[in-house]
Amino acid sequence: MIELTLDARGLICPLPVLKARKILLGAAGSVRLTVQVSDPATETDFRLFCEEAGIRWMGATATDTGALFYLEKTID
């Protein structure tokens, strides 16, 4: 499984979700993606994206500059 980090700090929705989508759906194999955001309110949009795209929401952590979101796409 590939582990990647996306720095989406400073971007407003929907850009963080669109960038994460491109990475996750474009990957040929399994991916764990950590997304750094400066607006923790984007969590709702990320959860909706995960639900619709079949991506596993692994949780979130608040940081001094926003939040970290943890997403996973698995290929059997």
The domain locations on the chain are 2-34+42-73
pLDDT band at 76 (very low <50, low <70, confident <90, very high): low
Could you tell me the pTM of the whole model?
0.92
**Measured CA angle at 23 (ends 73, 76), to 5 deg:** 25
Residues 6+ apart with CB under 8 A from 10: 38
User: CA distances (Å), 56 to each of 4, 10, 22, 27, in order?
Assistant: 15, 24, 15, 15
What CATH class does 2-34+42-73 carry?
alpha beta
Residues 31-69 have pLDDT tens digits of 999 999 998 789 999 999 999 999 999 999 999 999 999
